[in-house]
Homo-oligomer: A and B are copies of this chain.
Amino acid sequence: MRVSGALEGWNDGAARRAIVEFVERTVSDAVPVEERVAGFDNDGTLWCEKPMPIQLDFILRRLVEMAEAKPDLRDRQPWKAAYERDYGWLGALMAEHYAGDDSNVKILAAGILAAYEGISVEDFEAKSDAFLRTVQHPTLGRGYLECAYAPMVELLGYLEANGFSNYIASGGGRDFMRPISREVYGIPRERVIGSASALEYTSGDRGGTITHKAEADYLDDGPQKPIRIWSRTGRRPLLAAGNSNGDIAMLEFTHHQDKPFRPLLILHDDGEREFDYTSGAEQALEQAGTNGWTVVSMKNDWATVF
């Protein structure tokens, strides 16, 4: 058995070598194909998450729509911030979150869940699909669908060519990513794991309808990531990639006693080609150092970003 594919978008260096070595060992050890499972965070790992997560832009536009239709919402958060384009409120909220204060995060979450209450899963998907195909990233001069990182897309292909099944395990919305996951990442919709609204089934003689409820089913972040990967696949992944503290548990979960495994942590250190930040990744970087996880420097390890 030979290793297939190349990683041309990656510079020669420790990260690229660690990945190739891992895949070569998986192939030469003849790890059964069904055990070759890999899990990828999405925002900040497979595509850009700055200046704000792409899905947040999608939701804010919906909150504006709601505030336009119902003026009394304009005085209530999060509609007020969305309607007034008050990015200060949103920015402060993230800083508060990292400082351990989630009171405004909860207000935003309630707004997010209310934003699509009652929509059918098919209509939600059509909205997400239309948004992702038409909206431009605010600063990078490219459409959102072109904000996927080329070296990561190449890595997905390289893994797949070597028998891996790639899964997205995102804190973002599962049903938000599904309409574009195959086109952008080569990952079919049944392999998209992500946060989900609780759903409701309404019987009907033309097939019944599934709609979004204004509550979360689960938030696929932190310890929920390994739980949701297990629930979906029944496997402990051999490779996982993330970029933030919310990915620590998933990266740790790749550890195997008797098989090759590889946790990857993407470091956003390329302010020229993308963004330069470690906020929200401090503990992940510390654990990477302690546990020998592979840190991927966007600046040094990637020949190209997009």
Contact = CB atoms under 8 A, between A and B. Distances in A.
B208 A226 contact: yes
Contacts of A200: 223, 227
Contacts of A206: 255, 257
Interface string A278-298: 000000000000010000000
Contact of A203 (B190, B192, B223, B227): B223
Contacts of A291: 205
Contact of A190 (B189, B205, B234, B255): B234
B201 A227 contact: yes
A252 interface: yes
A210 B227 contact: yes
Residue among A201, A224, A254 with most chain B CB within 10 A: A201
A207 B256 CA distance: 7
B256 A236 contact: no
A189 B249 contact: no
A178 interface: yes
Contacts of A301: none
Contact of A207 (B165, B235, B255): B255
Contacts of A203: 223, 249, 252
A231 B188 CA distance: 13
Interface string A188-200: 1110100010011
Contacts of A208: 226, 249, 252-253, 255
A121 interface: yes
A199 B233 contact: no
Contact of A227 (B199, B249, B255): B199
A136 B137 CA distance: 61
